[in-house]
């Protein structure tokens, strides 16, 4: 995720310093951002040369963090989703200049949990990007119990400046907004597959060609208004009762994980990716998403 976030800031006109523990990862990041920018240029989405945007980025080892971060104004942490590791990093960041805003791309921890034990929790804020971070427009901004109002507002304005669509999450809730909705939807989708109602392939087509097709231009609440709320209410009365409310992961996913079928990274999941490179599949995905981004920007 880190490389997409770094690209987003550099594309938005800002100087960026990328830190990782590993030189190979920094090199991979440089190469991947270069390839991403060339794809943006091919789709006419880049006002400047890719090389000019890349020249705004510096790459450093994490051991140089304290030295190289001195004149930074905004930090985005995107290390693995392991709470002690995040807390250790925020403890290091606690000593940097008070004006620096410290954000985290965490998907599942509250910012109060990450900031626990810090002297300066008021400047800590959640900034949740979506994969691929350099393309998907949304970022969820979420605060900890001590986050200052001004920090929320500066972060929101910064996201607008770098071309994102920020949404504020009003309370500390696990999964924030989008992951809760995606998880609820996939609980039901897995249930329908288990019950023999639909295959994963047909479910994917049903989702893409119906509500997925509509969603980018018409939000679900706006859609309810068009449907008519009385009709919606009658539908809720019938359907809520029969939806899955399981609290366990899908048995099909548990089985696949046991067999080592982890999806794209292992070559097999719901689909078979063997015979195609991961890079090819990701580039194909990005090409389709960039076509959508052009349309989304016109809405
Ligand atoms: N993968 C997703 O789809 C996704 C989506 C939204 C948010 N997130 C969140 O983004 C964060 C990162 O996820 P990811 O999938 O990119 O993980 P990842 O494991 O692919 O990348 C993490 C990187 O952090 C580096 N790292 C580890 N410790 C470090 C340290 N102390 N200093 C500097 N670099 C360090 C690692 O070398 C690695 O390159 C997590 O909090 C995750 O929940 C992930």
Helix 23-42 / helix 278-298 crossing angle, nearest 10 deg = 50
| Residues of the domain holding 34 | 2-169
The pLDDT score that the predictor gives to residue 120 is 97
Q: What is the atom index within ligand 1 of the atom nearest the CA of 129?
A: 6
Looking at the structure, do residues 209 and 232 belong to the same domain, yes or no?
yes
Looking at the structure, do residues 119 and 230 belong to the same domain, yes or no?
no
Looking at the structure, do residues 66 and 108 belong to the same domain, yes or no?
yes
Give CA separation, 98 vs 9, 68, 118, 169, in Å. 21, 16, 12, 24
Looking at the structure, do residues 158 and 227 belong to the same domain, yes or no?
no
Looking at the structure, do residues 127 and 34 belong to the same domain, yes or no?
yes
Taking CB atoms and a 6 Å cutoff, what residues make up the pocket around ligand 1? 1-2, 19-22, 25, 62, 78-81, 85, 89, 105-107, 128-129, 131
- Tell me what the mean pLDDT of segment 173-194 comes to: 96
Looking at the structure, do residues 122 and 241 belong to the same domain, yes or no?
no
Of all protein residues, the one whose alpha carbon is nearest to atom 14 of ligand 1 is 1
Looking at the structure, do residues 118 and 233 belong to the same domain, yes or no?
no
Ligand 1 mean position, distance from CA 258 (Å): 24
The pLDDT score that the predictor gives to residue 48 is 85
Ligand 1 mean position, distance from CA 263 (Å): 19
Ligand 1 mean position, distance from CA 105 (Å): 8
Looking at the structure, do residues 206 and 59 belong to the same domain, yes or no?
no
The pLDDT score that the predictor gives to residue 159 is 98
- Residue 136 to residue 155: CA distance in whole angstroms: 18
Looking at the structure, do residues 82 and 212 belong to the same domain, yes or no?
no
Contact 4, 129 (CB under 8 A): yes
How many structural domains are present in the chain?
2
Q: What is the pLDDT of residues 232-264, one digit of tens each?
A: 999 999 999 999 999 999 999 999 999 999 999
Q: Check pLDDT > 90 for residue 47.
A: no
Looking at the structure, do residues 193 and 164 belong to the same domain, yes or no?
no
- Residue 115 to residue 148: CA distance in whole angstroms: 13
CATH of the domain at 11: 3.40.50.720
Q: What is the pLDDT of residues 133-146, one digit of tens each?
A: 999 999 999 999 99
Asked which of 169, 191, 214 is the last residue of a domain, the reply is 169
Looking at the structure, do residues 113 and 210 belong to the same domain, yes or no?
no
Looking at the structure, do residues 140 and 230 belong to the same domain, yes or no?
no
* pLDDT bracket for residue 25 (50, 70, 90): very high
Asked which of 150, 169, 188 is the last residue of a domain, the reply is 169
Q: What is the CA radius of gyration of the chain?
A: 21
Q: Check pLDDT > 90 for residue 79.
A: yes
Q: Check pLDDT > 90 for residue 203.
A: yes
- Residue 9 to residue 158: CA distance in whole angstroms: 9
Share of the chain above pLDDT 70, in %: 100
Asked which of 145, 169, 193 is the last residue of a domain, the reply is 169
Contact 127, 105 (CB under 8 A): yes
Q: What is the pLDDT of residues 113-171, one digit of tens each?
A: 999 999 999 999 999 999 999 999 999 999 999 999 999 999 999 999 999 999 999 99
Of all protein residues, the one whose alpha carbon is nearest to atom 23 of ligand 1 is 79
Any residues with CB less than 8 A from the CB of 256 and at least 6 apart, and which?
A: 262, 269, 270
The pLDDT score that the predictor gives to residue 297 is 93
CATH of the domain at 236: 1.10.1040.10
Q: What is the pLDDT of residues 86-107, one digit of tens each?
A: 999 999 999 999 999 999 999 9
Contact 224, 211 (CB under 8 A): no
Share of the chain above pLDDT 90, in %: 98
Ligand 1 mean position, distance from CA 78 (Å): 5
């Amino acid at each position: 995720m880190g490389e997409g976030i770094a690209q987003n800031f550099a594309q938005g006109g800002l100087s960026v310093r990328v830190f990782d523990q590993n030189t190979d990862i920094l090199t991979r990041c440089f190469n991947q951002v270069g390839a991403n920018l060339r794809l943006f240029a091919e789709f006419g989405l880049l006002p400047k040369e890719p090389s000019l945007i890349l020249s705004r980025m510096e790459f450093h080892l994490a051991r140089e963090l304290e030295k190289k971060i001195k004149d930074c104004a905004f930090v985005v942490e995107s290390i693995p989703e392991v709470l002690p590791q995040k807390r250790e990093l925020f403890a290091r960041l606690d000593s940097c200049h008070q004006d620096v805003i410290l954000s985290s791309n965490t998907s599942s921890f509250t910012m109060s949990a990450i900031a626990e034990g810090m002297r300066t929790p008021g400047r800590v804020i959640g900034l949740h990007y979506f994969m691929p971070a350099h393309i998907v427009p949304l970022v969820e901004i979420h605060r900890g119990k001590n986050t200052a109002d001004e920090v929320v507002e500066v972060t929101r304005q910064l996201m607008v400046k770098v071309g994102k669509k920020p949404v504020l999450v009003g309370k500390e809730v696990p999964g924030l907004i989008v992951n809760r909705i995606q998880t609820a939807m996939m609980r039901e989708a897995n249930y329908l597959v288990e019950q023999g109602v639909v295959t994963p392939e047909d479910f994917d087509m049903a989702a893409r060609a119906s509500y997925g097709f509509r969603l980018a231009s018409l939000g679900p609440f706006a859609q309810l208004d068009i449907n008519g709320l009385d009709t919606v209410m009658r539908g809720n009365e019938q359907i809520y009762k029969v939806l899955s409310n399981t609290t366990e992961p899908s048995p099909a996913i548990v089985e696949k994980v046991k067999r080592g079928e982890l999806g794209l990274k292992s070559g097999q999941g719901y689909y078979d990716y063997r015979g195609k490179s991961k890079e090819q599949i990701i580039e194909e995905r990005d090409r389709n998403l960039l076509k959508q981004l052009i349309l989304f920007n016109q809405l």
